[in-house]
């Protein structure tokens, strides 16, 4: 167990991205979110800390094996083949939880039985006795997950679900689970607010779950600190000395008191709820930190204490099954909105609702929302800034007014996952963009495979292109996921009208199809790249006129072009030639087969004040032009398509098949001390060995990608060619 171990952490839907960050802070590596949960790696100590410190996880599973299976016999053999004596003894009482179904295992109970049989038969064979099964109080819980023809066997290190902290014996009707409550507080920035000395009030506190979780965060109390038993305690791999050291560290980190100025208060009109809240707080030894009182919503006001001028109002109002009618819920949220607006000016509020109409009923504008699940129920957390600009509107106003107030979509769990990734990427790229004045960049490139789109920013505009979905993905699923990404883009970039997002449903294109129009909006806009003004069209063609992944190569060309003769083959809209011109090239020639893009290039030249006499645009087939025309160049960019079957040429073009001939012809045009940059987007491309023997070839793919394409390093391949010994074969 000295090598890094593999783990899976499960959590409520909607908290996965938060759990990723939490586990990373606890020392986990290779952390990634999937539909099954959050996978991570690390030593056993990381799992101990996750069990003790995670405020969000339900369970922490240690992965023991993963086996390809195709039948019930395979499942049984996979279970029997594992060396269970490393993890339990014949006296260990165990239980099996089976997840997943196939055409040969349609019942999870049957699947669990096959795993149980495999474990029992292992011990019969190796120890001459069998362990017993105890589904209710096992020493060790085994989890089997069957997905896509693979069976993963794991040990549940947590035991009972981690959301059960041990303080809530009776949560009242439709309670909020503890880890979901913690997630809502983390979404609300509660830990940061504590550091600033802000306070928290829950005006409908019920049994006090939000208050107690808030106190535990404020006092730095590990959620599992008072837990008597974890699942790993019945596992043979358990390191008692290591666990006791981690437990001791957690006890030492508990703050003896709330930070200066921080208060945690709760109110509820139900005396029984207040008593439950008091009892729950006492069980966690938090009675002196959590103050609760019986008070009706209409009687609640912001405390006049000078240090409570800023804070967080967090509330899970009764809704759904806890209220008699939908109109009762709307009226309650309207009353809450009145209190938020009139009594808590300058504060922020986090309000939970099961319906967006409830949030609208407050009469206030929410600036952010997060979708998640509370058990089987869909809920949403709405965040409000209660500043002077958030005016209270009439809650009885007609629906049209409500629609205007709430034009941005409410995100699904998948949409929220995409939104969080967009925000994370934007934050990561911010310093680089500012330092280099980058206004056109890629913010997302199928970072999560199930959301296979590329999202680019062009100044203040968004371009979103879908990659063709695999045939195994149903059209309905692909459309739903695409809509979820659109929702996320709207929310993150505050785009109220979807028509303002340039959207392309994309498939592979051949020949001149890439030049054909997909729209007739005729909307062009100017963008800036490294000081060059460039025309882009985000709507009318599959490509926009600016390949963002080639930005670093264009920067090289600009830096190296002074006094040079520049040749741009398959020039597209001639952006590299514009940079060469601005960099001081003596002259340039740009060759392409499309009149559309050559005209576009001439317009790029004009807007930058460059002469189309000095910088020629030539319509022609590149291979034919190289053989027919003459001229030597000091700097060449060769960026051919992967495939072309244009009617304007006598034969089709395939970059893998034809690149050796193409490069040989091009190198004949390169001066003795010149440089050729060769790039292409064929992800399976292999450079001919003969070329590396004839020329000096340097793979510069890594250097040719900007920070915005680090997540997609195979977007293109790029090489730097020069003549050996500075002598051209043409001489």
pLDDT per residue over 15-40, tens digit each?
Answer: 999 999 999 999 999 999 988 899 99
Q: Which is more confidently placed, 91 or 322?
A: 91
Given a cut of 60, is residue 483 above it in pLDDT? yes
Number of other residues whose CB lies within 10 A of the CB of residue 520:
8
**Looking at residues 84-89, what average pLDDT do you find?**
96
What tokens appear for 374 in the block?
């509370």
H/E element holding 8? strand 5-10
pLDDT band at 395 (very low <50, low <70, confident <90, very high): very low
Could you give the residue ranges of the DSSP H alpha helices within 344-474? Answer: 356-361, 399-405, 413-436
Instruction: Out of 162-166, 493-497, 556-560, pick the least confident.
Output: 493-497
d(CA 144, CA 155): 9
Cβ atoms of 211 and 281 within 8 Å: the answer is: yes
d(CA 176, CA 182): 10
What tokens appear for 17 in the block?
């991205």
**Looking at residues 640-659, what average pLDDT do you find?**
83
d(CA 201, CA 398): 32
Given a cut of 50, is residue 510 above it in pLDDT? no
pLDDT of 326 reads 57
Instruction: Out of 138-152, 284-298, 387-401, 546-560, pick the least confident.
Output: 387-401
d(CA 665, CA 685): 19
**Looking at residues 67-83, what average pLDDT do you find?**
96
**Looking at residues 590-616, what average pLDDT do you find?**
93
Q: What's the gap between Cα 233 and its chain centre? A: 34
**Looking at residues 202-206, what average pLDDT do you find?**
93
**Looking at residues 150-158, what average pLDDT do you find?**
97
pLDDT band at 521 (very low <50, low <70, confident <90, very high): confident
Given a cut of 80, is residue 512 above it in pLDDT? no
pLDDT of 399 reads 32
Pairing of strands 59-68, 150-156: antiparallel
pLDDT of 143 reads 97
| Model confidence pTM above 0.75 | no
Given a cut of 60, is residue 400 above it in pLDDT? no
Tokens 């409550």 belong to which residue? 181
What tokens appear for 73 in the block?
């016999």
pLDDT of 156 reads 97
Give the residue from 691, 663, 693 showing the smallest Cα distance to 677.
Answer: 663
Given a cut of 70, is residue 321 above it in pLDDT? no
**What mean pLDDT is reported for the chain?**
89
Given a cut of 50, is residue 403 above it in pLDDT? no
Q: In CATH, what class is 5-156?
A: alpha beta
Cβ atoms of 525 and 458 within 8 Å: the answer is: yes
Given a cut of 70, is residue 553 above it in pLDDT? yes
Dihedral of alpha carbons 22, 23, 26, 31, sign = negative
> What number of residues does the chain have?
731
Cβ atoms of 516 and 492 within 8 Å: the answer is: no
pLDDT of 449 reads 85
pLDDT of 334 reads 86
Could you give the residue ranges of the DSSP H alpha helices within 95-239? Answer: 108-127, 178-187, 190-195, 209-218
pLDDT of 474 reads 83
Cβ atoms of 56 and 15 within 8 Å: the answer is: yes
Given a cut of 80, is residue 335 above it in pLDDT? yes
pLDDT of 402 reads 34
Instruction: Out of 387-401, 516-530, 585-599, pick the least confident.
Output: 387-401
pLDDT band at 728 (very low <50, low <70, confident <90, very high): low
**Looking at residues 185-203, what average pLDDT do you find?**
95
Dihedral of alpha carbons 493, 499, 503, 505, sign = positive
Q: Check: CATH 3.40.50.1100 for 433-507?
A: no
Same fold? 433-507, 525-726: no
Instruction: Out of 274-278, 317-321, 443-447, 721-725, pick the least confident.
Output: 317-321
Q: Helix 413-436 to helix 16-25 angle, to the nearest 10 degrees?
A: 60
Given a cut of 70, is residue 176 above it in pLDDT? yes
Residues of the chain with pLDDT > 70, as a percent, come to 92
Instruction: Out of 56-70, 79-93, 278-292, 343-357, pick the least confident.
Output: 343-357
Residues of the chain with pLDDT > 90, as a percent, come to 68
d(CA 429, CA 442): 10
For 216-274, the pLDDT digits (tens) are 999 999 999 999 999 999 999 999 999 999 999 999 999 999 999 899 999 998 898 99
pLDDT band at 298 (very low <50, low <70, confident <90, very high): confident
pLDDT of 473 reads 78
What SS3 class is residue 31? strand
Q: In CATH, what class is 178-220+255-406?
A: alpha beta
Cβ atoms of 633 and 673 within 8 Å: the answer is: no
Given a cut of 70, is residue 397 above it in pLDDT? no
d(CA 116, CA 82): 12
Q: Please, which residues bridge with residue 541 across strands?
A: 517
Domain boundaries of the chain, sorted by first residue: 5-156, 178-220+255-406, 433-507, 525-726
pLDDT of 65 reads 96
Superfamily of domain 525-726: Vaccinia Virus protein VP39 (3.40.50.150)
Given a cut of 70, is residue 431 above it in pLDDT? yes
pLDDT band at 649 (very low <50, low <70, confident <90, very high): low
Give the residue from 587, 597, 547, 594 showing the smallest Cα distance to 564.
Answer: 587
Given a cut of 90, is residue 497 above it in pLDDT? no
Q: Helix 44-53 to helix 16-25 angle, to the nearest 10 degrees?
A: 120
pLDDT of 413 reads 85
Q: Give 304's contacts (C-beta < 8 A, 6+ positions apart).
A: none
């Amino acid at each position: 167990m000295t090598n890094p171990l593999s783990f899976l952490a499960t959590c409520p839907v909607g908290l996965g991205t938060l759990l990723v960050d939490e586990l990373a802070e606890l020392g986990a590596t290779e952390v990634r979110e999937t539909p099954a949960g959050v996978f991570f790696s690390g030593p056993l100590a990381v799992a101990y800390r996750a069990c003790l410190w995670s405020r969000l996880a339900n369970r922490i599973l240690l992965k023991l094996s993963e086996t390809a299976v195709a039948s019930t016999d395979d499942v049984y053999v996979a279970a029997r083949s594992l060396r269970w004596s490393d993890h339990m003894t014949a006296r260990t009482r165990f239980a099996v939880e089976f997840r997943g179904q196939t055409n040969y295992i349609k019942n999870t109970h049957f699947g669990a039985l096959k795993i149980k049989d495999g474990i029992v038969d292992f011990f019969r064979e190796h120890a001459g006795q069998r362990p017993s099964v105890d589904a209710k109080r096992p020493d060790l819980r085994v989890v089997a997950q069957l997905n896509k023809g693979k069976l993963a066997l794991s040990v549940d290190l947590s035991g009972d679900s981690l959301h059960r902290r041990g303080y809530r014996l009776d949560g009242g009707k439709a309670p909020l689970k503890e880890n979901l409550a913690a997630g809502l507080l983390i979404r609300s920035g509660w830990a940061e607010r504590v550091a600033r000395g802000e306070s928290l009030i829950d005006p409908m506190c019920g049994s006090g779950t939000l208050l107690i979780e808030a106190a535990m965060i404020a006092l730095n109390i590990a959620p599992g600190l008072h837990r008597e038993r974890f699942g790993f305690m019945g596992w043979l791999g358990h390191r008692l000395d290591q666990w006791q050291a981690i437990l001791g560290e957690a006890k030492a980190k508990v703050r003896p008191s709330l930070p200066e100025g921080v208060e945690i208060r709760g109110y509820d009109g139900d005396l029984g709820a207040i008593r439950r809240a008091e009892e729950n707080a006492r069980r966690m030894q938090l009675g002196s930190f959590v103050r609760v009182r019986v008070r009706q919503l209409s009687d609640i006001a912001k405390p006049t204490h000078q240090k409570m001028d800023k804070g967080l109002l967090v509330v899970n109002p009764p809704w759904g099954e806890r209220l008699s009618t939908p109109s009762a819920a709307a009226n309650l949220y309207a009353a809450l909105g009145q209190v938020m607006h009139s009594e808590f000016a300058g504060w922020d509020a986090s309000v939970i609702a099961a319906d967006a109409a409830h949030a609208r009923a407050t009469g206030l504008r929410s600036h952010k929302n997060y979708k998640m699940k509370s058990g089987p129920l869909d809920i949403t957390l709405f965040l409000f800034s209660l500043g002077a600009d958030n005016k209270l509107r009439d809650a009885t106003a007609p629906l049209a007014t409500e629609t205007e107030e709430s034009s941005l979509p409410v995100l699904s769990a998948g949409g929220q996952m995409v939104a969080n990734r967009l925000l994370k990427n934007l934050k990561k790229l911010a310093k680089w963009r500012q330092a280099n004045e980058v206004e056109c960049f890629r913010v997302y490139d199928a970072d999560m495979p199930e959301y296979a789109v590329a999202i680019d920013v062009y100044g203040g505009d968004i371009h979103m292109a879908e990659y063709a979905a695999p045939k195994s993905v149903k059209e309905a699923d692909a459309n739903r996921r695409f809509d979820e990404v659109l929702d996320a883009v709207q929310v993150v970039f505050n785009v109220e009208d979807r028509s303002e997002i340039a959207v392309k449903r994309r498939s592979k294109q051949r020949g001149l199809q890439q030049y054909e129009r997909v729209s007739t909006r005729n909307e062009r806009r100017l963008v800036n790249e490294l000081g060059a003004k460039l025309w882009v069209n985000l709507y009318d063609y599959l490509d926009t006129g600016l390949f963002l992944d080639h930005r670093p190569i264009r920067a090289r060309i600009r830096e190296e072009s002074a006094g040079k003769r520049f040749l741009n083959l398959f020039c597209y809209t001639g952006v590299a030639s514009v940079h060469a011109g601005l960099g001081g090239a003596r002259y340039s020639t740009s060759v392409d087969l499309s009149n559309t893009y050559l005209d576009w290039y001439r317009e790029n030249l004009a807007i930058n004040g460059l002469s189309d006499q000095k910088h020629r645009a030539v319509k022609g087939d590149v291979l034919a032009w190289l053989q027919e025309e003459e001229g030597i160049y000091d700097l060449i960019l060769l960026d051919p398509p992967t495939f072309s079957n244009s009617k304007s040429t006598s034969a089709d073009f395939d970059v893998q098949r034809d690149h050796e001939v193409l490069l040989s012809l091009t190198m004949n045009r390169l001066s003795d001390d010149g440089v050729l940059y060769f790039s292409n987007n064929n992800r399976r491309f292999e450079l001919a060995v003969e070329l590396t023997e004839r020329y000096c070839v340097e793979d510069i793919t890594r250097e040719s990608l900007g920070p915005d394409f680090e997540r997609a390093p195979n977007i293109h391949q790029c090489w730097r060619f020069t003549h050996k010994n500075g002598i051209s074969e043409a001489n």
